[in-house]
């Protein structure tokens, strides 16, 4: 998807979606709502039911006996973010177990960055008895192939984290991705001010342009930054093509920085891409709290860069909410039931087909040093013992981080 063509359309679509879900996203206690199936015997949960206790999954345990076949989850890779191994797979596993499925009734795989592998994994899953697929597509091309194949075999698909453009999925589960981009943009602006960066010269990095999420992130942060560029208070010095491969991101940044040595800030869409760039800047003698860099995913390295003063902040996406939402939808579909209306709390627009996709969109958070303790540490997302190891102990002490 080209950013120029996709930006204007996607902003409208997701803005509408955000308005629908704003009141419903969160992690409060389990609540009741009318079932989409109209049956009082169907377990009732809402989009705000999910939290760290996983109690909502236990509440839908009766669905396990009602259903048949397997749930197959196919994750994309281990390069664009370590989240898929460290968090998504474990949280999805816990969700299905709490919901009453045995180890033979669900399967979680990773395509390791290969479209061919992701498609063959989907085919094999259906052959082996999957009645529901949960797919985080590497790109919309392979996502569409998987969904077409699944549809021809009567197997519903849930898009997980990324929306397959032009696809035929049944539901979509993710975070409000334009909101993610807005947090990145606002985070950079706040950091530039707090770090007293004079005459900001910004390199604007992107994720892979084939990833719809990368487009939505860009919609969010460009809406924040463009007025600054237009007014002349910030200068937009470079816009590399975009990637989710850290080594490629470093190459893109080095080329931009070499061409524009006056650059003194970078909008970076995730922690993984940001880490080698921050290391590169350190080798150039850049000191802490002088060259703002943003990030996303609240990785261990990203958080350490945050508390050390080399990264402004990171967008934290409580993946335990997303995993439970996807698992819950899969349990209803496996049982042949329509999920409760209060669970499917929003719509996302497939801009290729101009269709509205029933969705659950969770709310991301911007994390800075002063909020690390109350977010990622409290949630057990990153252990304080790892975050505060070695030279980072002093930074943790400075910001009251422990656990």
Strands of the 265-267 sheet, one edge to the other: 235-238, 201-204, 265-267
Q: What is the pLDDT of residues 82-99, one digit of tens each?
A: 889 989 999 999 999 999
Q: Pairing mode, if any, of strands 365-367 and 106-110?
A: unpaired
- Contact present, 304 and 76 (Cβ < 8 Å): no
| Residue ranges of domains in the chain, CATH in brackets | 3-176+319-364 (3.40.50.2300), 177-316+366-398 (3.40.50.2300)
Residues in the chain: 403
- Contact present, 392 and 386 (Cβ < 8 Å): no
Distance in angstroms (rounded) separating the CA atoms of residues 346 and 10 = 15
The whole-number average pLDDT for the span 336-347 is: 94
- For the chain, the average pLDDT equals 90
The whole-number average pLDDT for the span 152-159 is: 98
Q: What is the pLDDT of residues 95-126, one digit of tens each?
A: 999 999 999 999 999 999 999 999 999 999 99
Long-range contacts of the stretch 379-387 (C-beta < 8 A, 24+): 379/52, 379/318, 379/320, 380/52, 381/87, 381/298, 381/316, 381/318, 381/319, 382/298, 382/300, 382/303, 386/300, 387/300, 387/303, 387/304, 387/307
Q: Pairing mode, if any, of strands 346-350 and 355-362?
A: antiparallel
Please name which of 320, 322, 298 lies closest in space to residue 311, comparing C-alpha atoms.
298
Q: What is the pLDDT of residues 289-299, one digit of tens each?
A: 999 999 999 99
Helix residue ranges per DSSP H, 246-355: 246-259, 271-283, 300-308, 319-334
């Amino acid at each position: 998807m080209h950013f120029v063509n996709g930006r204007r359309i996607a902003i409208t679509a997701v803005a509408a979606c955000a308005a629908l879900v704003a009141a419903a996203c969160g992690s409060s206690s389990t609540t009741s709502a009318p079932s989409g199936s109209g049956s009082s015997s169907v377990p009732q949960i809402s989009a705000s039911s999910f939290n760290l206790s996983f109690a909502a999954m236990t509440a839908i345990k009766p669905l396990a006996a009602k259903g048949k076949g397997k749930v197959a989850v196919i994750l994309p890779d281990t390069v664009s973010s370590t989240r898929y191994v460290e968090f998504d797979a474990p949280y999805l596993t816990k969700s299905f177990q709490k919901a009453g499925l045995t180890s033979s009734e669900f399967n979680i795989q990773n395509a390791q960055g290969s479209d061919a592998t992701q498609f063959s994994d989907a085919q094999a899953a259906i052959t082996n008895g999957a009645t529901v697929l949960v797919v985080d597509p590497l790109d919309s091309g392979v996502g569409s192939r998987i969904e077409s194949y699944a549809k021809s075999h009567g197997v519903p698909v849930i898009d997980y984290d990324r929306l397959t453009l032009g696809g035929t999925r049944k539901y979509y589960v993710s975070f409000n991705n334009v909101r993610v981009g807005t947090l990145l943009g606002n985070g950079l602006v706040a950091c530039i001010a707090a770090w007293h960066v004079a005459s900001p010269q910004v390199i604007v990095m992107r994720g892979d342009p084939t990833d719809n999420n990368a487009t939505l992130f860009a919609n969010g942060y460009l809406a924040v930054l463009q007025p600054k560029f237009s007014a002349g208070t910030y200068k937009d010095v470079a816009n590399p093509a975009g990637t989710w491969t850290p080594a490629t991101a470093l190459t893109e940044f080095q080329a931009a920085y070499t061409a524009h040595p006056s650059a003194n800030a970078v909008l970076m869409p995730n922690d993984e891409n940001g880490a080698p760039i921050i290391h590169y800047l350190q080798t150039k003698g850049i000191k802490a709290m002088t060259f703002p860099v943003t990030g996303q995913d609240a990785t261990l390295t990203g958080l350490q860069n945050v508390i050390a003063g080399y990264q402004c902040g990171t967008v934290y996406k409580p993946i335990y909410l997303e995993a439970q939402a996807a698992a819950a939808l899969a349990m209803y579909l496996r049982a042949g039931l329509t999920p409760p209306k209060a669970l499917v709390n929003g719509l996302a627009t497939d801009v290729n087909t101009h269709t509205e996709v029933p969705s659950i969109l969770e709310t991301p958070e911007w994390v800075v040093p002063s909020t690390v303790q109350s977010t990622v540490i409290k949630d057990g997302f990153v252990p304080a013992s790892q975050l505060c190891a070695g030279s980072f102990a002093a930074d943790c002490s400075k910001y009251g981080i422990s656990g």
